[in-house]
Amino acid sequence: MDESAREEYFLRVVKVGEAPDWPVPEENLVVGKQELGDDLVQYWAYPKDSGREASDLPPAEVVAAEQKSGNPAIMIDRGRSEDPKSEGYLELYLVRDGHAYARNSSNLDNLEDNISAILDFAKNEFNIKVGHFMTTTRVPKEAEEKLDNLENGDIANRKVDVEDEQKSPFRPASVGVGAVKGYSKSSSNFLVFLPILVVLGIAAGLIFFKGDAISSKILPKIPFLAPAPTLTPTPIPSPTPTPTPSIDRSEFKIRVLNGTTTTGAAGKLLEVLKEKGWGTLSAGNAKNQAIEQTIVAGKEGMEEVVKVLIADLAPDLEATQSSTPLKSTDKADLEVVIGKK
């Protein structure tokens, strides 16, 4: 995992008690560190003339923090160079559990070799089994096309077993992060573009997003009517629907958080709720992205409003009401955390 002295920072992960091996004398560097667990320590170093401090997390760590699932992956980002033949054209990061374990620079021509190198490094140095690749929207189109070509080539054949990988499918796509300096954790999201396991089965309650609206694959429930005890037809009374409380949806601001690995789910649901007349506040990612059932929370005294919102989410989402209300100082009146159902 060689890095040239021209790069603006260096990254090393070593065992506790070991010293990192820098490509330049350490007295010329500003060095920071943090423990990663498993008896490993992450070190980073900036040139002294960079203006950085030891407490400044390296760009690789900022990018890795956006990887929510915790499964090992190779993240690919745009480098500092605009020249596809320059080694600084792309940045490759080995990430796990929201931390960067290694980085490597690459040009377009050597991308396959550098991916192979970082795969070997992950296995040999840390016994890490890399399950998938991820990319940011900063990655140029020609690099995306190169990765697509590699998907069915030698790199695909090098993938190791991934018993600890998630069961959910990953779909090709990418969404934005900014430049290496000044990443925004609130707005930066990543998508897996090279899937390991594609699950195409559709179960009851599974929803999919298409365009700007939610479409449901749930078939309508048809009530079973028992036959009358005699040959004389007996009229069956229609069930009286539970009345929905009358409220002005526009008076309530909703925050939607994505508690799944389906990228863009929060933003699309927020648009759907806006079309239904709700006031909208923001969309983002939940801290936990393995939520099983959708949860709706409201402020004190908004129990009836929560029921209306839950009804509007059905049948696509089988939401339940949170036992913990939102704080009275919260800017949002209601909060939806999207789950698997």
Reported as a single tens digit per residue, the pLDDT across 182-216 is 333 333 343 343 444 444 444 444 333 333 333 33
Whole-number Cα distances in Å, 263 to 46, 209, 269 = 34, 10, 12
Cα separation, 257 vs 238, whole angstroms: 38
Whole-number Cα distances in Å, 326 to 47, 266, 272, 303 = 46, 19, 22, 11
| Average pLDDT of span 163-170 | 36
| Average pLDDT of span 270-289 | 89
**Best CA proximity match to 45, nearest among 36, 33, 34:** 33
- Which of the listed ranges 119-133, 202-216, 313-327 does the model predict with the highest average pLDDT? 313-327
**Which residues, including other chains, have CB under 8 Å from residue 55's CB and lie 6 or more apart?**
32
**Which residues, including other chains, have CB under 8 Å from residue 219's CB and lie 6 or more apart?**
204
257 within 8 A of 335, measured Cβ to Cβ? yes
> Edge-to-edge, what's the strand order for the sheet holding 40-47?
10-15, 40-47, 29-37
**Best CA proximity match to 88, nearest among 183, 6, 174:** 6
**Tokens 């008896």 identify what position?**
39
Give the ranges where the chain is alpha helix by DSSP (H).
59-64, 111-126, 141-151, 154-158, 265-275, 303-313
Give the tokens for residue 81.
Answer: 């160079």
Cross-strand pairs, 105? 91
CA dihedral of 291, 296, 299, 301, whole degrees rounded to 10: -140
What was the pLDDT predicted at 277? 92
Model confidence band, residue 166 (pLDDT cutoffs 50, 70, 90): very low
Cross-strand pairs, 104? 92
Cα separation, 133 vs 152, whole angstroms: 13
Between strands 99-106 and 90-96, the pairing is antiparallel
Maximum separation of any 2 CA atoms in the chain, in Å: 98
Query: Using one digit for the tens of pLDDT, what is the confidence trace for 47-96?
Result: 998 889 998 888 888 888 876 666 888 888 888 888 888 877 788 898 98
94 within 8 A of 122, measured Cβ to Cβ? yes
What pTM does this model have?
0.45
Neighbours of 133 (CB within 10 A): 23
Between strands 279-285 and 253-258, the pairing is parallel
Cα separation, 200 vs 216, whole angstroms: 15
Which residue spans of the chain are classified as CATH 3.30.70.2390? 249-338
What was the pLDDT predicted at 12? 93
Architecture of domain 249-338: 2-Layer Sandwich (3.30)
* In the chain, % of residues over pLDDT 70: 69
Give exposure, 247-277, as e/b (b: 16+ Cβ within 10 Å). eebeebbbbbbbbbbbbebbbbbbbbbeeee
Cα separation, 263 vs 171, whole angstroms: 9
Give the tokens for residue 82.
Answer: 């605009």
| Cα angle: 236, vertex 242, 246; to 5 degrees | 145
Give the tokens for residue 175.
Answer: 């969404």
